[in-house]
Amino acid sequence: MSLKKIAVFISGSGTNLQSLLDSIHNKYGEIALVVSSNMNAYGLTRAKASKVSTVSLNVGELGYDSVILSLLKDSKIDFIVLAGYMKKIPPRLIEAYENRIINIHPSLIPSFCGPSYYGIKVHEKAIEYGVKLSGATVHFVDEGMDTGPVIMQEAVEVDYEDDGKSLQKKVLEVEHRILVESVKKMCQEKIVVEGRKVKILP
Ligand code: GRF
């Protein structure tokens, strides 16, 4: 059976992409395409180093959703991973890839998520609130922002001395781990969605 073909969407440094290149690519699945909303994203350099095709998108451009859809079709993409992708996914893409787009978010959803929660701000808000636990969430992408069914979560302890940066570092390590595990299960078709609940098969 041929490997599942994966498209990874990025906007920045791409450390989550790197963990997929290191642990998934040509082992459990094939990262066939990297799409960036930012032509200067370091993640593009990481993709090219692994000889993965890359595309930079001008997301504001009229009809860019049609461009993405035909790119994904041409590359025979099975599912999409948002790894630090900072733009909203167009409805036509969500429709075409229902329960086949997953996202990694640096908090325990439904805490500290939604339109104004991204990057270091997520961790600064968690520190400000004084939570004792934070963490990372992998979830399916639906028409909302960070609202799709949860696939996997893992918590980290927040110490009194933590600030946004130190918490971000702890959470990023968890992100890399649970994103790889979730993508591996997607490649193995071991993720079953029942309404809002997700079952991960052994
Ligand atoms: C990660 O914290 C991710 O959860 C968030 O943006 C950051 C991207 O990091 N969406 P990287 O580009 O994968 O290093």
Q: How far is CA 88 from the centre of its chain?
A: 12
From the candidates 105, 123, 139, 176, which is the catalytic residue? 105
Residues of the chain predicted below pLDDT 50: none
**Strand intervals (E) in 18-127:** 29-36, 54-56, 79-82, 101-105
CA atoms within 13 A on the CB side of 137: 21
CB distance 13 to ligand 1 below 6 Å: yes
CB distance 135 to ligand 1 below 6 Å: no
Whether residue 133 contacts residue 108, with contact meaning beta carbons closer than 8 Å, is answered with: yes
Instruction: Round the CA-based radius of gyration of the chain to a whole number and report it.
Output: 16
CA dist 111 to 100, 105, 142, 157, Å? Answer: 23, 10, 17, 15
pLDDT of amino acid 1:
75
Model confidence pLDDT, tens digit, residues 114-173: 999 999 999 999 999 999 999 999 999 999 999 999 999 999 999 999 999 999 999 999
pLDDT of amino acid 61:
83
Instruction: List residues bridging with 102 in a β-sheet.
Output: 81, 140
Known catalytic membership, residue 25:
no
pLDDT of amino acid 60:
81
Report the predicted TM-score, pTM, of the whole model to 2 decimal places: 0.97
pLDDT of amino acid 62:
84
Give the pair of three-digit tokens for residue 190.
């071991």
